[in-house]
C-alpha cells in the first residue's frame, strides 16, 4: 500500500542481559518497518541511566561508539513514525526525564485521546512541556504523583490516560510494560536465556534468537526487576479492540500479532477474496511487497497462476527530483515497474494488502494497462 | 544471491533533450541495482561541459542544486560497482578530461583485458594517470592520438583495447556509444520524442517513458550529433559472447537484455529445473528477491504451491553492529527471516537465482530447518 | 591570560527594529569573546516567537537561512561559556518555553547561588527540568507563579533568586532586562534610531552604530513594549559588588564596563604597576593580546620602550595534535612565539593582564629566556 | 593590511625523523598565515608514499587518525593560497603522481611565468592535466623526461621553467628542495637532532625546536637521502630579486626571511618613516595586527606615545551575514573597532604595514574620525 497511515511505532524492551543495548539495537532493526523517522535506546545498569537518540533509521542512528556508551543490563528502544508532534529530534523516543520519583524513560506505540485535555490542566498548574508529543503527559502525571512508590505513581498516572498505548518504561533498575485495556496495539513477551523481552512484533524475537512466551495482555502491567516478573491488572476491563491494520499492513508477514501469524491472516484473506469474487483471468500479480501474501492465497484458491507483473525498486529514497517535463505515471513508476512480458495480452488480477484512498491504485492500473494488459481486475469486496 | 560478483555498472546517455541531466538522473535511478558505490553525470550544451560525481547512491549523490548546475541537451551518466580500482571518488565515472582533441567524458561498463599492458606503455611514454581504473587508458590513447578528427581519434583508441566494454562517451556536441565486438555487456538504444538514449538496461527507458528501438550491436559505434545518428562498424567481427550473469542476476527482471525479457528467461529456467529435478514437496519458496522468478516457473511446472517462506528485510544497511554474544544465523537472519507458519512441518523447495560459493545457501537451509521445515530440497542441476 | 576563568557569557536584546535578528547576530559577533561554546537568537513579532541555537561560534551557528527564519522586531541573543551545566546544545541559551503565562525566553549572564536549593523544591513539587543549567529555575518559578500578569509573575520569580545575574527576557511582545541588586555583571542600555538595546558590553553598540545611553542599574528591571520603556526597582537594595575580572580580562578593551573604558582601566593599572615596582630593563613586552593595554601604560610611565617580544598565533584551534616526542614549551609555543631579535641579550619586562595559577606564566618566562633574554622581570604587586 | 595580495603559500619538508608527519603538521601550523585555503601532507618511508589533503586550515584538515595514516621518516607539507587555479581540493598541494620515474610529490610556493606555454605544448603532445595549477607542468615535464635518474630528470624539468619557485619535492626515499635563481620566495634550512628541515619561514623551526642553519640559496637544489645532503647549482645564475612583500606582510614578525628578522625590518621601516615624515601628534596607533612593528618603530623614533586606538576582533570568520540596513563602516568595523578613550580629542597617527588600493585605509580613517579623533595622519612616503 502506497498511501500509508502513519499510526505505528516500534517498541522494544529487555531486562537481564549483559548486552542489553546491542540486543535492543537488533530488535529495533527488526522493527524498522514500524517507523523510520527516528530511533532511540535508553539503558540502565541499576544505578545510572543513559540515552542516545537520532533522526533517521536505526543503522544510521547508532554506530559502535554510540552503543558502547550505553552500558547496562536493562534497555528500552523505540523507532518512530510521527503520529502526533512535529518531526524533530526533541520528539524522538525514548523520552528520559528526572523527577521527584527518580529518572524514568518511556517508549510508546499508540495515540492518547485525552492527551491535550491533560496537557492543558498540567500547564495550568505550572508544568513546562519539552515536546509536542502525546507521550509526555504520562511523565508529567508521574512527576506530580504524590504516591510514594515508583509502581504506585506509575499506575496512578497510566490510569488517567485513555486511548491506545503499548508502553515500555525504564527506571534505573526496572523494566515496566503496559498495554491499554482495549489491546489496540500489540506487545509480545519473550525470553532469551534468563532475560525478559517485550516487543511490538515477534520478528524481533526471531532475529535475536529469543522465544515467544505470550502477548502482554490488554490492561496488563508487567513489572520486571531483580526480584523477577510481576503481573498486575490495575485498570477496569474494557472490550477488546485490536487494530485491523496491524494484520493488514503495519506488521511484517513473519510476525505473530495478537497471537496469529500475519502471513496466515493475509494469505487467508486472499483465499476468501478468491471465493467471494470469482473472476476469470490469465494471471494473478501482487502489488509488491505488501500484496504478495494475499496474491498467493488468491492464486491458490482460484487456480489462476501467479506471476510478478510488477517489480519494486528497492533503492527508492526519500528525496526524489522530478523533471520539469511530465513523465506518465512517474510517481508510481519510480517505485514499481510493470513487467511487460508478464502482462502483455493477458487478463490480469492485481492484489494489494489494502486500499486507502485508491489514488495510487488507479495509477497502477493505468500503468499496467499501458504495459499491454488486456483486462485489469481489482477483486471486489476487498474492503466494504 | 548473497555472495555477489561485482562485475556490473550502469551506463546511460541521452542526446537532444532540454532536460538531459534530469532524465539521466532518472535513468541512473532505474540502473541503481548495477552499482551503488558512486554515481555521476556529465552534460554538454554544444559549447561547455559540466560534471558532478559523488560517492553513494543516485538519490544521495544529486540534489536539485546539483542537477540545476548541469545544463545542456546532451548527457551521460554512470553508477559504479568497483570492478577494478579502489573505492574512492577519484575513480567515480564519468571521467572528464581536457586534451589536445578538446574535452571528452567517458562512462564504461566492462573490463579491459589489456589495460595494464597499455597503461605500462603509456606511462613509459610520459603519461600521468589519475585513477586506478581500467577506463582511463582509453582517454590517454585518445589524448595521444595523432588523428585529426574526434571520430578518427576515438576509433583509433578503442581499436587498441580488448575485453568487455559498453561505452557512453560525451564531447561538447556529440554522444558516442560503443559496444565490444563480442557483445559481453548489454547496451540498448531508445527514443523519447526526438531524443536518442543509450542505456545498460531497458528498465531505464520504461521509467522515463522512452521507446526501445534495438540493442547497440556488438562491435558497433554510434555517433549522435546535431546531424543525426551514424552507425559505424570499424572493428573486425568476433564471436558473440553474452555474459550469462546479466540474465541470471545482474539485470532487473523487468528489463530486456540481449533482446530477451529477463523475467521470461528466469521463469523458464525455473520451469526447466522443475522438469530436470523431480522432487516431491509441500511448498516452493523463493529466496527473495532474486529467486522469485525462478520459483514461479518451478511452481508452475511442478504443480507444487509457492509461498513466501522467507521475508527479506528492506532496511538492511551497509554498516551493521554485531553483538558480542553469538546469535545463530545472525548474518543471514538480518537480511532474511523465515516465516514459521509457511515452513513448519513442511517439505520445502528453496529456489534462488544462482549460487556462487554456497556458504550463504547453507546458512539459509539451516535457518529454514530451525524454523520447523521437515525437509529442505535444493533442486539439483541448477548449476553445472 | 591563558588559564582562564570560565565565568562569562554575552547577552544582547533589542526592541523595535525591523532587522532585530540581524542586529542581534552582529551584537553577538561583537560579544563573541564572552563565550564560544554555543550561540542562540530568539525573536518575537508580537504574535509568534522563534528560536535558533547551535554549538560553536556565532559565525558558524547562523547562516542566512537561519536568520531569515527569525522574523520580528524584538530579539534576544546569547553567547555561552559553560558556567554551570554540561557542554551540550540542550544547555545553550536563550531557553524558550511555553507555560501558563504564555511563551517566554531567557538569556542569562551570571551564577545563581540558590539555584540547586530552588531546583530541589521545584522537582519535589512535580517540575521536570530539561537542562542542567542554573537559568532554568527562573522559568519554572515563572511557570508556577499564580500572579496574573507577565510582569508580576516575572518579578515574583526573580525576587526568589540570589546571586549574579544580568538577564534579557523575551515574551511575544516585550523585551525585559534585569540586573541583580549587587550589579555583579554588566548590562548597558543603548539606542539605535527608535530601537532600544541591552548588551553585556558597549562594543556591541559600536558595531551596529548604536548610542550608549546608560547602564541598566543594579536591581533595575526594564520593561520595554509598544507602550515604551518602564523602569522598576522591585528588589531591596544591596551593596555594589562589581566583578573585577570584567575590567581585567573578560571585557574587550574597546568596551565601557560599569561606566569606565576598559582600555583606560587596564592602561592605568599598567602605569600604577610601573610606579610601584621600579625595575630597570631594556624592553617592556606584553603577553599578547590581553597584556597590551597594561604594557602600554607600564612603558609610558617607566620610560622603558615597548616592543612585541612575543607573537600570538591567530590560527590556534581547539584540537591540536601533539607529537609523541617531547618538544620544549610546545603547549605555550603553539600560541605564542618569542621574537628573538627583540629579546636576545635584553633585560625584559613581561606584562600580562592577570595571572591565575601562574603555570602558563612560568612556561612563558622559560621560553623567553631560551630565546636569549638576559633577565626576565615579572613586575611584583600585580596581584595581592 | 586588509586588501591582501594572494601570492603566498607555506612549504615545509623534513628528512630523517620518526615523527615526520607530526612535525610537518606542526610546521604547517606555524606557516598557517601563508595560506588557509587547503593543507596537505605527503610522507615516504623508503618504500611507500602516502598523502592526505583537505580544504581549510591545518587544524581542521588533519585529525589524529589522518596523521597516524601517514607513517614514514620523510615528509613534505603545504598550506595554500590560491595563486593560480581554482579553489578546490584537486588543486590542493602536495600533488602526488606516479610516472615512469616512480612516485613523486611536489609542494610549491611561487608563480611560474612560462607555465601556460609549457602546458599547451605538453597537451599537444598528449598529456592530460588534472589540475588548473601552475605546479603540475613540472610533474609532466618530469614524467616525460628521458633522463635515467630521478635527479637528472628533475633537474632537466626544473631547468625548463621560469619564474618564482621554492619547491619541496618528495620521492619514496628522498627529500629535494629547490629555489629559483632569483630567490624570489624564501626557503630556510634547519636541523632537529639528525633530521634536515626546509621551511618557508623560520617560525616553523622555532615551533618544533629546530635550529636554523642557513637559507637554501637562490638557484640551489638540495638532495637529501640516506646518503646525506648534497647541494647542486645546476642553473645559470641570475640577479637576486627578493619579494619585498615577504618582509612587509607575508611573513610572521618572529620569522627570519632572506636572512633578516622580519620584526627588525618592519620596526626599522617605522623608524625611517618617522624621520622622513615629521608630523606632530598626540598618539601613534597601529592598525592591528600587521602595523604593530612599524608603529613601535615610529613611536620610538618620534617620541610620540603609542597606544592601541583600534582593537581587532579575533573571531572574524569567513562568512559574515550583512543586515539589509546600512551600518556605517560595517565591513571594516567587523574586523576593527576604535577605542574611543584613546582617540577622542587626539591628533592620531595611524601606521599600517602597507597599503594596496587604499580603500580600506580610507574607511578606517573615517571610522577613527567618527570615534572623536581631532586629526588623523597617515605618514607620507610610506610607499612610492
State pLDDT tens for residues A10-32.
Answer: 999 999 999 999 999 999 999 99
Name the residues of D annotated as catalytic.
9
Listed range (A206-210, A251-255, B165-169, C322-326) with the worst mean pLDDT = C322-326
Q: Name the residue among A212, A207, A211, A210 with its Cα closest to residue A257.
A: A212
To the nearest whole Å, the CA of C84 is away from the closest chain D CA by: 24
What is the model's pLDDT at position C83? 56
- Choose the weakest-confidence range: B166-170, D128-132, D230-234: D128-132
All chains having 3 or more CB pairs closer than 8 angstroms to chain C: A, D
Neighbours of D, requiring at least 3 CB pairs below 8 Å, are: B, C
For residue B5, the model assigns a pLDDT of 45
What is the spatial distance between Cα D43 and Cα A53, in angstroms, rounded to a whole number?
A: 40
- Residue B384 confidence (pLDDT): 34
Residue of B nearest to D128 (CA): B99
Over residues C224-268, the pLDDT tens digits come to 999 999 999 999 999 999 988 888 888 999 999 999 999 999 999
Q: Do C128 and A124 touch (CB under 8 A)?
A: no
User: Are C133 and C81 in contact, with CB atoms under 8 Å apart?
Assistant: no
Confidence category of residue A355, pLDDT binned at 50, 70, 90: confident
The confidence score (pLDDT) of residue D105 equals: 98
Out of A75-84, A173-182, B3-12, C46-55, pick the least confident.
Answer: B3-12
Q: Evaluate if residue B1 carries a pLDDT over 50.
A: no
CA dist B4 and B249 (Å) reads 9
Q: What is the pLDDT of residue C333?
A: 86
> Is 80 exceeded by the pLDDT of residue D82?
no
Q: Is A82 exposed, middle or buried (0-12, 13-18, 19+ CB in 10 A)?
A: middle
Q: Is the pLDDT of residue A158 over 60?
A: yes
Q: How confident is the model at residue C331 (pLDDT cuts 50, 70, 90)?
A: confident
CB contact burial B89-116 (16+ within 10 A = b; e otherwise): eebbbbbbbebbbebbbbbbbbbbeebe
Q: Which tens digits make up the pLDDT trace of B292-314?
A: 999 999 999 999 999 999 998 87
pLDDT given at position B89: 84
**Burial annotation A344-374 (CB, 10 A radius, 16+ → b, else e):** eebbbbbbbbbbeeeebbebbbebbeebebe
Does a cis peptide bond (omega within 30 degrees of 0) precede residue D262?
Answer: no
Look at B324 and D302; give whichever has higher pLDDT: D302
Q: What is the pLDDT of residue C84?
A: 55
Distance CA B176, CA B234 (A): 14
Residue C1 has pLDDT above 60, yes or no: no
Is the predicted pLDDT of residue D380 greater than 70, yes or no?
no
* Strand, helix or coil for residue B155: helix
Residue carrying C-alpha cell 633537474: D155
A307 to chain B: closest CA residue:
B296
For residue range D44-56, list pLDDT tens digits in order. Answer: 999 999 999 999 8
Answer whether residue C6 shows pLDDT above 60.
Answer: no
Lowest pLDDT segment from A99-103, B2-6, B175-179: B2-6
The rounded distance, in Å, linking the Cα atoms of D300 and D304 is 7
CB D265 within 8 A of CB D256: no
Write down the pLDDT at residue C10: 96
pLDDT at A84 over 60: no
| Average pLDDT for chain A | 91
Which residues, 6 or more positions from A137, have their beta carbon under 8 angstroms from its beta carbon?
Answer: A112, A115, A118, A119, A122, A161
D170: its cell numbers: 618528495
Report pLDDT for A320: 65
Q: How far is B29 from chain D (nearest CA, A)?
A: 28
Element (H, E) at B297: helix B292-302
Buried b (16+ CB within 10 A) or exposed e, C325-336: eebebbebbbbb
- The predicted pLDDT at position B83 comes to 55
Please check whether residue B209 is in contact with residue B202, taking contact to mean a CB–CB distance below 8 angstroms.
no
**What is the rounded average pLDDT of the residues D266-272?**
95
Cβ contact, residue pair C59, D318, below 8 Å: yes
* A311-320 pLDDT, tens digit each: 988 777 655 6
Q: Which pLDDT belongs to residue C317? A: 60
**Residue D236 in this model has a pLDDT that exceeds 70:** yes
Assess B282–A contact: CB distance below 8 Å, yes or no.
no
pLDDT at D4 over 50: no
- Asked whether residue A309 carries a pLDDT value surpassing 90, the answer given is yes
Q: State the average pLDDT for chain C.
A: 90
Binning pLDDT at 50, 70 and 90, where does residue B289 land?
Answer: confident
Q: Which residues pair with C212 in a beta bridge?
A: C190
Categorize the per-residue pLDDT at B39 as very low, low, confident or very high, splitting at 50, 70 and 90: very high
pLDDT at B219: 97
Q: What is the pTM of this model?
A: 0.86
Report the first-to-last Cα separation within chain D, whole angstroms: 17
Q: Provide the 10 A C-beta neighbour count for residue A381.
A: 10
Most confident of B54-68, D2-16, D356-370: B54-68
pLDDT at A249: 80
- Distance between CA B94 and CA B130 in Å, rounded? 13
pLDDT at D245: 85
Mean residue pLDDT across chain D: 90
pLDDT at residue B265 is higher than 90: yes
Q: What is the pLDDT of residue B360?
A: 86
Contacts of B369 (CB under 8 A, 6+ apart): B376
Predicted local distance difference test score (pLDDT) of residue A2? 35
Residue A234 DSSP symbol: -
- Residue A300 is nearest to which of B64, B263, B305, comparing CB atoms? B305
In percent, the amount of chain A with pLDDT more than 70 equals: 94
Tell me, yes or no, if A100 comes closer than 8 A to chain C by beta carbon: yes
Which residues in chain C have Cβ-Cβ distances shorter than 8 Å to D308? 253, 263, 292-293, 296
> Is a pLDDT exceeding 60 seen at residue B84?
no
- Most confident by average pLDDT, A319-323, B326-330, C112-116, D5-9: C112-116
- The pLDDT, as a whole number, for residue A90 is 83
Inform me whether the pLDDT recorded for B86 exceeds 70: no
> Does the distance separating the beta carbons of B124 and D144 come in below 8 Å?
no
Task: Give the number of other Cβ atoms within 10 Å of residue D269's Cβ.
Answer: 20
Q: Residue B7: what pLDDT?
A: 58
Q: Which of D27, D308, D330 to mutate to test the interface with C (most CBs of C within 10 A)?
A: D308
Mean pLDDT of A124-150: 94
Structure confidence at residue C4 (pLDDT): 41
Q: Do D100 and B140 touch (CB under 8 A)?
A: no
Q: B244 CB near a chain D CB, below 8 Å?
A: no
What average pLDDT does the structure give for chain B? 90
Residue B383 pLDDT: 40
What pLDDT is stored for residue B298 in this prediction? Answer: 95
Q: Confidence class of residue A381 from pLDDT cuts 50, 70 and 90? A: very low
Task: Nearest by CB to D123, from B99, B129, B140: name it.
Answer: B99
| Sheet containing D49-55: order of strands | D49-55, D38-44, D74-80, D9-15, D195-199, D188-192, D211-215
Q: How confident is the model at residue B110 (pLDDT cuts 50, 70, 90)?
A: very high
What is the predicted pLDDT for the residue at C360? 86
Chains D and A touch (3+ CB pairs under 8 A): no
Q: Which residue has the higher pLDDT, C184 or A314?
A: C184
More confident residue, C163 or A382: C163
Give pLDDT, residue D249. Answer: 80
Of C2, C94, C16, the closest CA to residue C52 belongs to C94
Is the pLDDT at D384 greater than 80, yes or no?
no
Q: Cβ separation of B128 and D128 shorter than 8 Å?
A: yes
Please tell me the predicted confidence (pLDDT) of residue C86.
62
* CB-based contact, B22 to chain A, within 8 Å: yes
Chain B positions touching D127 (Cβ under 8 A) are 99, 126-128, 143
Segment 79-98 of chain A within 8 Å of chain C by CB? 97-98
DSSP lists the bridge partners of residue A98 as: A103
Which pLDDT belongs to residue A321?
74
Nearest to A126 among C100, C123, C124 (CB): C100
pLDDT of residue C90: 83
Q: How confident is the model at residue D317, as a pLDDT?
A: 60
Residue range D156-169: average pLDDT? Answer: 96
Terminal-residue alpha carbon distance, chain B: 17
Residue in this structure with the C-alpha cell 621560553, named with its chain if needed: C367
- Cα distances (Å, whole numbers) of residue C344 to A244, C367, C374, C377, D204: 87, 12, 7, 15, 19
What's the pLDDT score for residue A200?
97
Amino acid at each position: 500500500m502506497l498511501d500509508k497511515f502513519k499510526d505505528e511505532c516500534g517498541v522494544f524492551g529487555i531486562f537481564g542481559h549483559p548486552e542489553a543495548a546491542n540486543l535492543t539495537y537488533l530488535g529495533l532493526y527488526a522493527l524498522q518497518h514500524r517507523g523510520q523517522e527516528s530511533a532511540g535506546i535508553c539503558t540502565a545498569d541499576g544505578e545510572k541511566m543513559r540515552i542516545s537518540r537520532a533522526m533517521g533509521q536505526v543503522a544510521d542512528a547508532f554506530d559502535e561508539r554510540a552503543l558502547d556508551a550505553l552500558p547496562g543490563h536493562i534497555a528500552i528502544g523505540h523507532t518512530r513514525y510521527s503520529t502526533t508532534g512535529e518531526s524533530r529530534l526533541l520528539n524522538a523516543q525514548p523520552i528520559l526525564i528526572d523527577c521527584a520519583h527518580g529518572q524514568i524513560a518511556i517508549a510508546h506505540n499508540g495515540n492518547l485521546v485525552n492527551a491535550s485535555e491533560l496537557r492543558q490542566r498540567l500547564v495550568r498548574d505550572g508544568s513546562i512541556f519539552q515536546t509536542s508529543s502525546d507521550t509526555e503527559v504520562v511523565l508529567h502525571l508521574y512527576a506530580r504523583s504524590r504516591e510514594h512508590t515508583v509502581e504506585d505513581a506509575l499506575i496512578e498516572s497510566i490510569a488517567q490516560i485513555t486511548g491506545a498505548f503499548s508502553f515500555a518504561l525504564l527506571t534505573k533498575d526496572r523494566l515496566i510494560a503496559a498495554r491499554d485495556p482495549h489491546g489496540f496495539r500489540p506487545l509480545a513477551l519473550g525470553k532469551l536465556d534468563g532475560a525478559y523481552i517485550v516487543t511490538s512484533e515477534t520478528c524481533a524475537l526471531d532475529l535475536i534468537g529469543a522465544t515467544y512466551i505470550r502477548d502482554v495482555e490488554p490492561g496488563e502491567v508487567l513489572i520486571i526487576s531483580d526480584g523477577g516478573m510481576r503481573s498486575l491488572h490495575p485498570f477496569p476491563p474494557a472490550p477488546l479492540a485490536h487494530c485491523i491494520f496491524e494484520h493488514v499492513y503495519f506488521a511484517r508477514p513473519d510476525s505473530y500479532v495478537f497471537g496469529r501469524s500475519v502471513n496466515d491472516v493475509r494469505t487467508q484473506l486472499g483465499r476468501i477474496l478468491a471465493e467471494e469474487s470469482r473472476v476469470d483471468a490469465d494471471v494473478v500479480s501482487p502489488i509488491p511487497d505488501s500484496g504478495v501474501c494475499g496474491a498467493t492465497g488468491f492464486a491458490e484458491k482460484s487456480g489462476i497462476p501467479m506471476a510478478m507483473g510488477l517489480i519494486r525498486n528497492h533503492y527508492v529514497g526519500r528525496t526524489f527530483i522530478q523533471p520539469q517535463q511530465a513523465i506518465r505515471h512517474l510517481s508510481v513508476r519510480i517505485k514499481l515497474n510493470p513487467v511487460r512480458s508478464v502482462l502483455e495480452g493477458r487478463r490480469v488480477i492485481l492484489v494489494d494488502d489494502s486500499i486507502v484512498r485508491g489514488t495510487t491504485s488507479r495509477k497502477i492500473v493505468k500503468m499496467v494497462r499501458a504495459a499491454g494488459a488486456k483486462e485489469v481486475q481489482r477483486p471486489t469486496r476487498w474492503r466494504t
